[in-house]
Amino acid sequence: MIDEISKQVGHEMYQFLAELYPLCRSITGQGVRETLKGIARHIPVKMHEIPSGTEVFDWTVPQEWNIQDAYIKNKKGERIVDFTQSNLHVVSYSQPIHTTMTLEELKPHLYSLPEHPDWIPYRTSYYKESWGFCLTHRQLMALKEEEYEVCIHSTLESGHLTYGEYVIKGETEEEILISCHTCHPSLCNDNLSGIAVTTFLAKTLSGRSLRYSYRFLFIPGTIGSIAWLALHENQVSTITNGMVVTGVGDPGALTYKKSRQGKAGIDRAFIHILKTSGLEHAIIDFFPYGYDERQYCSPGFNLPVGCFMRTPHGEYPEYHTSGDNLTFVQPQPLEESLICCVKAVNLLERNTTFLSQNPKCEPRLGKRGLYRAIGGESEGAKREMAMLWVLNFSDGTHSLLDIAERSGLEFEVIDKAAESLEEHGLLKKVSL
Amino acid sequence: MIDEISKQVGHEMYQFLAELYPLCRSITGQGVRETLKGIARHIPVKMHEIPSGTEVFDWTVPQEWNIQDAYIKNKKGERIVDFTQSNLHVVSYSQPIHTTMTLEELKPHLYSLPEHPDWIPYRTSYYKESWGFCLTHRQLMALKEEEYEVCIHSTLESGHLTYGEYVIKGETEEEILISCHTCHPSLCNDNLSGIAVTTFLAKTLSGRSLRYSYRFLFIPGTIGSIAWLALHENQVSTITNGMVVTGVGDPGALTYKKSRQGKAGIDRAFIHILKTSGLEHAIIDFFPYGYDERQYCSPGFNLPVGCFMRTPHGEYPEYHTSGDNLTFVQPQPLEESLICCVKAVNLLERNTTFLSQNPKCEPRLGKRGLYRAIGGESEGAKREMAMLWVLNFSDGTHSLLDIAERSGLEFEVIDKAAESLEEHGLLKKVSL
Amino acid sequence: MIDEISKQVGHEMYQFLAELYPLCRSITGQGVRETLKGIARHIPVKMHEIPSGTEVFDWTVPQEWNIQDAYIKNKKGERIVDFTQSNLHVVSYSQPIHTTMTLEELKPHLYSLPEHPDWIPYRTSYYKESWGFCLTHRQLMALKEEEYEVCIHSTLESGHLTYGEYVIKGETEEEILISCHTCHPSLCNDNLSGIAVTTFLAKTLSGRSLRYSYRFLFIPGTIGSIAWLALHENQVSTITNGMVVTGVGDPGALTYKKSRQGKAGIDRAFIHILKTSGLEHAIIDFFPYGYDERQYCSPGFNLPVGCFMRTPHGEYPEYHTSGDNLTFVQPQPLEESLICCVKAVNLLERNTTFLSQNPKCEPRLGKRGLYRAIGGESEGAKREMAMLWVLNFSDGTHSLLDIAERSGLEFEVIDKAAESLEEHGLLKKVSL
């Protein structure tokens, strides 16, 4: 699976992300629909609409928010804060307004970052009626005492919450859920990176013969996963593993946050892949804040869904600012992240329990041409050790992942050794 | 509970301890009775008397020992070792004697500490008929070859072993046992500190509405706990947790020695309290020597009783010497120790398992005014995280302590979060 | 048991090993028979012969190999490589040859160690028809372009595989297997050291009253253990513990490689002995390569057999070279290794579960003369603590080893404490 990934995939994801960057996404609205159309150019994602007002557990699908334009004009009529320059300038879900006011009246509606005077913060007000502008601290400091024309040309009306879904059917009904949030405007790492990696992971799996079925969700954060779970409550029992993909394009260490269960297949897969990756990484325990794993892992569902990311949210200064841009995210980290996801999926697909057909003493590998038959000396020795591990522990109670973990060898090496041994009749599959 | 402790409590305990300091305590005798009278000025402790000769398991309650005076006089008739200066000068349970003897004859009965030449050691001879004097090494070195008048005006006769008991009744019959030894003479840390903290803990709990019943024992070490257990054998099954309190006034790290069971409620409570205390501390495994936990944790009882102390016995040079005095023990460590005990008891009282009433996805905290509603930004964020932890793990299998341990947040913060959530109908109690 | 080991045992083993050093052992042949005769001078080992061609699981007992002489002569007729100087000069199982050839033709059959130019490597070719010479790199470099007379006067014919076996019967049929490989020629650590320690361990146990039966196997590596297991398949269920002894004469750290089971009696015994030895040591997990534990621990047997050694194979430069000689191996490490084996066996023999006869509170040790009655102050304190540990944990669920592990005291100290307590009627045996 890994071998078939294009060498250019990092650049391809980066370019895809750059195309989606200018769109003004929120938890509802046209920006989300445009984003899903962009995704649809790569995979046949299906767009779903849930009407405003739909009750979903303790929550209600909100009104749909759309925005055409917004600005603050000074007395000379110059746009000193301009939505068309950056969609971060407007607090998401701002109500429409068009009026003039003094600086004193305006100030409570302005947000800046004194510690990063050149960055625009990202703010939302989904569940409280409000409006506001975000601007750099330099812009804020430059404002004089005068009258300002304040305009937010937005609509907040009954409409829909839009999400995308793409399902790849495998041999079994058992599903692996891969979820990413689509609600943030021009922020690259959070979460165009997650959208790009999820899209290209789907692209990689598409058209293959797979053991598991895969469900990809492109949803607004929190309300999206809550709505999806509420509307598909009787369907979640088929989800045997899953991951939330977010913040996977920054240069920080690869990070896997375990599911609430903590020892699910996906947890063991990512832990093994990261530990044998040779890359800087961190494994962290589940905690009930973060991204949509909060909902998937709520106690009434307790799904085996972890979260794959690089630097965790809030732990990098660019987080939720205009500093999270096309410079902050780069092709190389995107590619590493995608490869980890593919390897984790490959591990779940390939993990099997075998039974040695020669359980009493070792079989003679030499007479079967399996003794240092392949690769150079060091590669051959590693392969041979992998075969001995697989033979010794294929007693019907150890999966290939168990053996990989115990031996410290990469799953792929163990898997290939098992494949050779099976071909020579030394192993038989016990179960998936 | 903590909030109601007087700011002066450290000084109050220190003063109480200073009052008891001059009394000559032993495992029996008037000194113990006077000590219990001192305690009775703070809490309604009841005095019990067990006759000498009573068989208690493998032991026998010994004769009662009392002492009026003791000295060694030189040829000039000067008291060169004088019981009225320090009751440590006489080996506890010394038999009466009044005679003259040479230095050579006297020397086998003299005990000093060459490595601490200004301290008087503390020695006992409970179960072997003997007599002796303890003195500073300087005193010993100054003794000349001459005749000495040696007098110990003591009695060792059939009498009683005296102990104190105070029970606070709670909602349930389940008891928490708090035990301290009262047998040491003028030694402050060992164990007037334990007597003081136990007395003030009882005072703090007294008059409150409590879930558990509390039994406070003021007993001579070893023989006291053995006698109490032997005479109340059919009653110990109600003891669900307990602690021995000893050596809690020195400046060393707070130390909790686990019960033999190792994972009892009291163990988990103290471990959590110490780990989140921000104070220097140590957690040590059970071992079958030390204080009365030896008896409570003997295999035929195996009660969940730990031992709370500061520096363990024998690990400070002042241990069992006149150096363990009113300078060595101070109000501040006494207060810290009391607060730990109160917090541990509070944790046992308040630990509960809840069931989230909105187990599927998170409930909306905002619409209930629970979102950053209380405290400053940082305090509010912590409270909010505590609520998310409680909601996510209140699945009927995690107690508040389980959640506190897993989240790394203090039990009190988790408890308060649960209280808020319960008030808003988001949680229901499953069980104590 | 330890007390009865001669102070000279290290030197005795070293002398025994030196006697066996010159023999040319292989997996079959006269060298093995001579070695067994040497062992028979110490213990009544029985020699067994398995015919060539016998099918043993996936393997076949090979032809018997014997060698009289071998050399390479230069044009002057000088033996420039001479089997009589070192039996390592000939690749083991080399086919007979007698011919002349050029240096170019000869070179593919020559093996040296450029990084250790004065050492002769050790090479074998058991399962591939071949011949060759091993020589120092200095010898190889000195060879000129000329004609060489090459002679290997060997036979490779139908014969037998020879192994030795010695069984000591104990009270029970439960067996402890002790296995060492006998197939290496003039190499001291690998494995004359193992042969020597195994022989002297057998000698130590011989004639004693033992709980377990002991089976000592002196076998060629791999094929020997496979053949033994194949021919005694229905007998292995009596093996309750076992160890492979190899490489126990070098100066490196004592090393115990756990059985595949990982927590067998032998594993716990060696771990405890090494941890309390005060000597440098390492405990390593099972892995499916190494020595005959590979076969004993194959999944169809999964016997509780570990491997005791010093520096693991391949981790010292002298490994499988002429550097593994009578200088590399010394009496002191041999003695330490033997003592560890004896202690481990003693632990298995003596490990017992007792029930305290005074489970409620401590019994009075003083009135039984057990209180600091034995040894000096420090020794007495240790003995007393050991008694308290044994009394407290002899509740029918903790063996003496459990207590030793938990207390951190040496098994022997715990065992002696238990012995004293049992003599005084304070303990009763529950089970072996």
Tens digit of pLDDT for each residue in B325-349? Answer: 999 999 999 999 999 999 999 999 9
pTM: 0.93
Distance CA B338, CA B10 (A): 8
Element (H, E) at C335: helix C331-350
Q: Is the CB of A378 inside 8 Å of chain B's CB atoms?
A: no
Task: Please list, residue by residue across A347-386, b when 16 or more beta carbons sit within 10 angstroms of its beta carbon and e when fewer do.
Answer: bbbbbbbbebbbbbbbbbbeebebbeeeeeeeeeebbbbb
- Is the pLDDT confidence value at A105 over 50? yes
Considering all CA atoms of chain A, what is the largest pairwise distance in Å, rounded to the nearest integer?
92
Distance CA A75, CA A78 (A): 7
Is C299–A385 a contact, with Cβ atoms under 8 angstroms apart?
no
Instruction: Quote the pLDDT of residue B93.
Output: 97
- State yes or no: B184 annotated in a binding site: yes
Lowest mean pLDDT among A94-98, A126-130, A291-295, C238-242: A126-130
Distance CA C305, CA C296 (A): 7
DSSP category for residue A61: -
Residue labelled with tokens 């130390």: B255
For range C99-112, the mean pLDDT? 97
Q: Is the dihedral of CA A223, A225, A228, A230 positive or negative?
A: negative
Banded model confidence at residue B84, pLDDT cuts 50, 70, 90? very high
Q: Contact C297/A356 with Cβ under 8 angstroms?
A: no
- Is the pLDDT confidence value at A357 over 80? yes
- Is the pLDDT confidence value at C372 over 70? no
Distance CA B240, CA B343 (A): 17
And the tokens for B233? 């054998």
Residue type, B270: F
Interface partners of chain C (CB pairs < 8 Å, 3 or more) are A, B
Residue labelled with tokens 């034995």: C374
Q: Contact C52/C63 with Cβ under 8 angstroms?
A: yes
Distance CA A239, CA A244 (A): 13
Closest alpha carbon to C171 in C214, C211, C206, C208: C211
- Is the pLDDT confidence value at B227 over 60? yes
Q: Is the dihedral of CA A81, A82, A83, A88 positive or negative?
A: negative
Instruction: Quote the pLDDT of residue B375.
Output: 44
- Partners of A385 on chain C (C-beta within 8 Å) are 289
Q: Is the CB of A126 inside 8 Å of chain B's CB atoms?
A: no
And the tokens for C213? 């039966």
Distance CA C178, CA C209 (A): 18
Smallest CA–CA distance, residue B431 to chain A, in Å, is: 18
Residues 6+ apart with CB under 8 A from C24: C31, C67, C87, C185, C186
And the tokens for A424? 């020579």
* C191: preceding bond cis by omega (within 30 degrees): yes
- Partners of A367 on chain C (C-beta within 8 Å) are 127
Q: Is the dihedral of CA C132, C136, C137, C142 positive or negative?
A: negative
- Partners of B298 on chain C (C-beta within 8 Å) are 359-362, 391-392
Beta bridge partners of C155: C66
Give the three-class secondary structure for A243: strand
Complex-level ipTM beyond the 0.90 threshold:
yes
| Cα–Cα separations (whole angstroms), residue B68 to B29, B97, B131, B321, C5 | 11, 12, 15, 22, 61
Banded model confidence at residue B409, pLDDT cuts 50, 70, 90? very high
Element (H, E) at C404: helix C400-407
- Is the pLDDT confidence value at A293 over 80? yes
Closest alpha carbon to C369 in C429, C426, C428: C426
Distance CA A354, CA C161 (A): 34
DSSP category for residue C92: B
**Total beta-carbon pairs less than 8 A apart between chain A and chain B:** 61
Q: Contact C361/B298 with Cβ under 8 angstroms?
A: yes
Tens digit of pLDDT for each residue in C227-279? Answer: 999 999 999 999 999 999 999 999 999 999 999 999 999 999 999 999 999 99
Radius of gyration for the alpha carbons in chain B, expressed in angstroms and rounded: 25
- Is the pLDDT confidence value at C374 over 60? no
Q: What angle do CA A33, A39, A45 make, to 5 degrees?
A: 85
Q: Contact A179/A243 with Cβ under 8 angstroms?
A: yes
Interface partners of chain A (CB pairs < 8 Å, 3 or more) are B, C
For range C74-84, the mean pLDDT? 97
Beta bridge partners of B142: none
What percent of chain B shows pLDDT beyond 90? 93
Banded model confidence at residue A374, pLDDT cuts 50, 70, 90? very low
Banded model confidence at residue A341, pLDDT cuts 50, 70, 90? very high
Banded model confidence at residue A5, pLDDT cuts 50, 70, 90? confident
Average pLDDT, chain B: 96
- Is the pLDDT confidence value at C432 over 70? no
- Is the pLDDT confidence value at A377 over 70? no
Tens digit of pLDDT for each residue in C415-431? Answer: 999 999 999 999 999 97
Q: Is the CB of B391 inside 8 Å of chain A's CB atoms?
A: yes
Give the three-class secondary structure for C209: coil
Distance CA B120, CA C391 (A): 34
Residues 6+ apart with CB under 8 A from A332: A10
Distance CA B347, CA B269 (A): 6
Q: Is the CB of B189 inside 8 Å of chain A's CB atoms?
A: no
- Is the pLDDT confidence value at B71 over 70? yes
Q: Contact C338/C13 with Cβ under 8 angstroms?
A: yes
Q: Contact B252/B334 with Cβ under 8 angstroms?
A: no
**Total beta-carbon pairs less than 8 A apart between chain A and chain C:** 62
Instruction: Quote the pLDDT of residue A55.
Output: 98
Tens digit of pLDDT for each residue in C130-167? Answer: 999 999 999 999 999 999 999 999 999 999 999 999 99
Instruction: Quote the pLDDT of residue B372.
Output: 65
Distance CA C390, CA C384 (A): 10
Q: Contact B135/B111 with Cβ under 8 angstroms?
A: yes
Residue of C nearest to B285 (CA): C406
Residue type, C386: A
Distance CA A277, CA A281 (A): 9
Tally Cβ neighbours within 10 Å of residue C165: 16
- Is the pLDDT confidence value at A376 over 70? no
Pick among A289, A291, A292, A297 to test the B interface (most B CBs inside 10 A): A289
Tens digit of pLDDT for each residue in A199-222? Answer: 999 999 998 999 999 999 999 999
| Cα–Cα separations (whole angstroms), residue A309 to A241, A312, A335, B418 | 17, 7, 13, 31
DSSP category for residue B300: T
Is C359–B299 a contact, with Cβ atoms under 8 angstroms apart?
yes
What angle do the packed helices B331-350 and B194-205 form, to 10 degrees?
40
Residues 6+ apart with CB under 8 A from A385: A407, A409, C289
Residues 6+ apart with CB under 8 A from B300: C356, C358, C359, C360, C361
Give the three-class secondary structure for A408: coil
Q: Is the CB of B403 inside 8 Å of chain A's CB atoms?
A: no
And the tokens for A281? 């990484």
Element (H, E) at B144: none
Q: Is the CB of C232 inside 8 Å of chain A's CB atoms?
A: no
Is B360–A288 a contact, with Cβ atoms under 8 angstroms apart?
no
| Cα–Cα separations (whole angstroms), residue A263 to A241, A281, A301, A303, B352 | 11, 18, 16, 12, 26
Residues 6+ apart with CB under 8 A from C417: C383, C386, C387, C389, C390
Banded model confidence at residue C377, pLDDT cuts 50, 70, 90? low
Residue of C nearest to B228 (CA): C361
Q: Is the dihedral of CA C14, C15, C17, C23 positive or negative?
A: positive
